[in-house]
């Protein structure tokens, strides 16, 4: 399972607070090969370059997008069932409820 970007940022900031220098943070084994400027940018909220996502244990942004679905308003269960395997039962139920509210209006 991949890490969350917020946990990576928190870890970089904690290391920076301890070491007081992004150059020293870049020398730590978990951040080796990542330039100090890039670590600083990530810690300050900039997007993580694709080049470093795997090194930091983050998923590729392209792999986190949900699949495109064809949703028919007259059959909300079909859309929910098609995402059940990918997103989980609670999301499917939320989608069913949302679409039924749209039909009732």
Are 78 and 53 in the same domain? no
pLDDT at 101: 75
How do residues 3-62 score in pLDDT, each as one tens digit? Answer: 788 899 999 999 999 999 999 999 999 998 999 999 999 999 888 888 898 889 887 766
* Together in a domain, 46 and 79: no
- Domain of 49 in residue numbering reads as 5-59
Decide: pTM greater than 0.75: no
Total number of domains constituting the chain: 2
Asked whether residue 39 falls in the same domain as residue 16, the answer is yes
Sign of CA dihedral 29, 51, 4, 89: negative
26 and 54 in a single domain? The answer is yes
Residues 9, 27: one domain?
Answer: yes
85 plus 40 within the same structural domain: no
pLDDT given at position 81: 66
The pLDDT tens digits of the residues spanning 72-99 come to 667 767 666 666 655 666 666 776 777 7
Q: Looking at the structure, tell me whether residues 74 and 103 fall in a common domain.
A: yes
How buried is 95 (Cβ within 10 angstroms: 0-12 exposed, 13-18 middle, 19+ buried)?
Answer: buried
């Amino acid at each position: 399972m991949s890490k969350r970007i917020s946990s990576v940022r928190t870890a970089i900031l904690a290391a920076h607070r301890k070491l007081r220098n992004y150059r020293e943070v870049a020398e730590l084994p978990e951040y080796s090969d990542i330039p100090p400027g890039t670590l600083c940018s990530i810690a300050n909220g900039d997007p993580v370059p694709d080049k470093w996502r795997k090194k930091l244990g983050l998923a590729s942004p392209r792999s986190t997008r949900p699949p495109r679905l064809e949703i028919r308003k007259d059959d909300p269960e079909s859309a929910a069932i098609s995402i059940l395997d990918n997103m989980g039962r609670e999301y499917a139920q939320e989608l069913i409820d949302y679409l039924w509210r749209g039909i009732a209006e």
